[in-house]
Chain A
């Protein structure tokens, strides 16, 4: 082949094309290939390559053993009884979802710009969008975005496009990652961000009302909030419109798994409902990938970011699906686009809509009721323990915050010895002074009453032991 194109080596191709001035001029500084581990059995391939000076190159078997040992340092939700949450949750993912996601016609395709060969994928997007609209009670949805926090920031940009105002008001009940992301984006496009504090675990109604005025572009809150409390979404939205007028955009970051039992955001005066979709059919997977959902009132359709699948008919009058309203997107609209992101998390959104289909209309309600009753049981049981109290007493659905009268990190270490992860160390995550001693406990349908009882035993023993240590220290 080299002879055919008239060069003497592959290197010569680069030498002829790449200007001297941009070349690195030295080998990349990478570690040498792995050699066998001390004491590991041989099993070397007889013809294995060797690097000068490094002795025998590791075989595939050696490398596998090494990686397995590295992976074994992790403790996954399958290895311990986990009550971790704070944005991503250990729900059961039915086997058929893996089967679907591994199908090559769903796993491998790129963006469906050519509808003629993408009807399956586009139909799935359309059905996903329909499901999100039904869950949120809003008129339009896009085909998914990356994840929850950036969905909130994008919603903020929609508000800016809509009313041209200069400030976001956001409840401190939003997830810390959402607050950080919003702040980063807002800085980028010149918006001020004002945080409204919580009172008794929910957004302080008076502070909220007084923070919002005619300069406020969007009013943003989380439902349930970061500390697990159910906010009064209707009251917050109404107060926001009262203070900011009709042009203000109300935005809620919502946990989708509880939309079977909470009033849909669209019926509570929320204009844009976004959120983290991981709970719907996606595993924890080290934190991702997952998807974010984005739904809004139809009036905001042209300011929406992201891909949108639309239903239409072909020349023969048959129903079909296409990407639509692409003139919002940056590959056409460039600097005037509604977002710098014009992609979707199609595979993860597929898992989401497949999961919702599996649950069904009744299943998602039953799941919500199950979460509600188990969470209540967990909060009551744990708050009855010595040295454990509720951080707030607001209604909760699937997550709640406790205050421990002991060092949270030490308590967690003791629980780990019993194979229990009692939850998220709040102060470690938020850095807020009022979160010292805080523990955020998440409940999923995978945590049975017996599991919760086991948590109570472990937590009780751990807190008592730590308090004992503190007393005798």
Chain B
């Protein structure tokens, strides 16, 4: 994972969370934390996935990521309902560090209000906030 990368195909929340709208089904979005977030946290040691069915609200925390030195809230870029969680992270939380945009995905949600994407940033705009 290239240092400081922000994939072009993602939408970003200023609190260092990303969303990938499923090309096959625009109602489903995959969520995770950005390269910047995992770098600031340091070695991730624990992630306890929320349960499928949990309702998430845009801008509100829906889970926590725990590293050796801190515990950080993960904020939802979209409102909706969790339909799938990345159980593999329970045994391998380090995937969040190694591949934050791929194997390190956290949850998938069914979006309740697609217009919320207007409030999110594209890769360039998000990168600019990191300056």
A28 CA to B66 CA, complexed, in Å: 50
- Find A302's partner among B46, B69, B70 (CB 8 Å cutoff): B46
B46 touches A332 (CB 8 A): no
Is chain A's interface secondary structure helix, strand, loop, or mixed overall?
A: helix
A332 CA to B46 CA, complexed, in Å: 15
Which residue of chain B lies nearest to A334 when distances are taken between CB atoms in the complex?
B71
Q: How far is the CB of B38 from chain A (nearest CB, A)?
A: 16
Q: How far is the CB of A311 from chain B (nearest CB, A)?
A: 16
Cβ contacts A281-321/B at 8 Å (1 or 0 each): 00000000000000000000010000000000000000000
- Find A333's partner among B67, B68, B71 (CB 8 Å cutoff): B71
A16 CA to B66 CA, complexed, in Å: 46
Which residue of chain B lies nearest to A337 when distances are taken between CB atoms in the complex?
B71
A323-373 contacts to B (CB < 8 Å): 327, 332-333, 336
A332 CA to B68 CA, complexed, in Å: 10
B85-112 contacts to A (CB < 8 Å): none
B71 partner residues in chain A, CB cutoff 8 A:
327, 332-333, 336
A332 CA to B64 CA, complexed, in Å: 14
Which residue of chain B lies nearest to A302 when distances are taken between CB atoms in the complex?
B46
Cβ contacts B2-25/A at 8 Å (1 or 0 each): 000000000000000000000000
A462 CA to B67 CA, complexed, in Å: 65
Q: How far is the CB of A243 from chain B (nearest CB, A)?
A: 23
Which residue of chain B lies nearest to A327 when distances are taken between CB atoms in the complex?
B71
Which residue of chain A lies nearest to B73 when distances are taken between CB atoms in the complex?
A336
A302 CA to B48 CA, complexed, in Å: 11
A333 CA to B68 CA, complexed, in Å: 12
B66 partner residues in chain A, CB cutoff 8 A:
327
A327 CA to B71 CA, complexed, in Å: 6
Cβ contacts B57-84/A at 8 Å (1 or 0 each): 0000000001111110000000000000
B46 partner residues in chain A, CB cutoff 8 A:
302
B48 partner residues in chain A, CB cutoff 8 A:
302
Which residue of chain B lies nearest to A336 when distances are taken between CB atoms in the complex?
B71
A332 CA to B67 CA, complexed, in Å: 11
A86 CA to B26 CA, complexed, in Å: 66
A332 partner residues in chain B, CB cutoff 8 A:
69-71
Cβ contacts B22-40/A at 8 Å (1 or 0 each): 0000000000000000000
A46 CA to B46 CA, complexed, in Å: 70
Q: How far is the CB of A245 from chain B (nearest CB, A)?
A: 16
A327 partner residues in chain B, CB cutoff 8 A:
66-71
Q: How far is the CB of A434 from chain B (nearest CB, A)?
A: 46
A131 CA to B71 CA, complexed, in Å: 30
Q: How far is the CB of A144 from chain B (nearest CB, A)?
A: 23
Which residue of chain A lies nearest to B71 when distances are taken between CB atoms in the complex?
A327
A333 CA to B69 CA, complexed, in Å: 10
A336 CA to B70 CA, complexed, in Å: 11
A327 CA to B66 CA, complexed, in Å: 8
Q: How far is the CB of B125 from chain A (nearest CB, A)?
A: 31
Q: How far is the CB of B122 from chain A (nearest CB, A)?
A: 32
A333 partner residues in chain B, CB cutoff 8 A:
71
Q: How far is the CB of B89 from chain A (nearest CB, A)?
A: 15
Q: How far is the CB of B119 from chain A (nearest CB, A)?
A: 27
The residue among A302, A327, A336 with the most chain B CB atoms within 10 A of its own CB is A327
B68 partner residues in chain A, CB cutoff 8 A:
327
A327 CA to B70 CA, complexed, in Å: 6
A302 CA to B69 CA, complexed, in Å: 14
A333 CA to B48 CA, complexed, in Å: 16
A336 partner residues in chain B, CB cutoff 8 A:
71
A336 CA to B68 CA, complexed, in Å: 16
Which residue of chain B lies nearest to A333 when distances are taken between CB atoms in the complex?
B71
Which residue of chain A lies nearest to B45 when distances are taken between CB atoms in the complex?
A327
Q: How far is the CB of B54 from chain A (nearest CB, A)?
A: 13
A302 partner residues in chain B, CB cutoff 8 A:
46, 48
A336 CA to B66 CA, complexed, in Å: 13
Q: How far is the CB of B130 from chain A (nearest CB, A)?
A: 24
Q: How far is the CB of B47 from chain A (nearest CB, A)?
A: 12
Q: How far is the CB of A161 from chain B (nearest CB, A)?
A: 12
A348 CA to B45 CA, complexed, in Å: 32
Q: How far is the CB of A23 from chain B (nearest CB, A)?
A: 41
Task: For the complex of A and B, list the 5 residue pairs with the smallest distance between their C-beta atoms, beginning with the closest.
Answer: A327-B71, A327-B66, A333-B71, A332-B70, A327-B70
Q: List residues of A whose CB falls within 8 A of some B CB.
A: 302, 327, 332-333, 336
* Seed contacts A327-B71, A336-B71; 5 additional CB < 8 Å A-B pairs: A302-B48, A327-B68, A332-B70, A332-B71, A333-B71
| 13 interchain pairs, CB-CB under 8 A | A302-B46, A302-B48, A327-B66, A327-B67, A327-B68, A327-B69, A327-B70, A327-B71, A332-B69, A332-B70, A332-B71, A333-B71, A336-B71
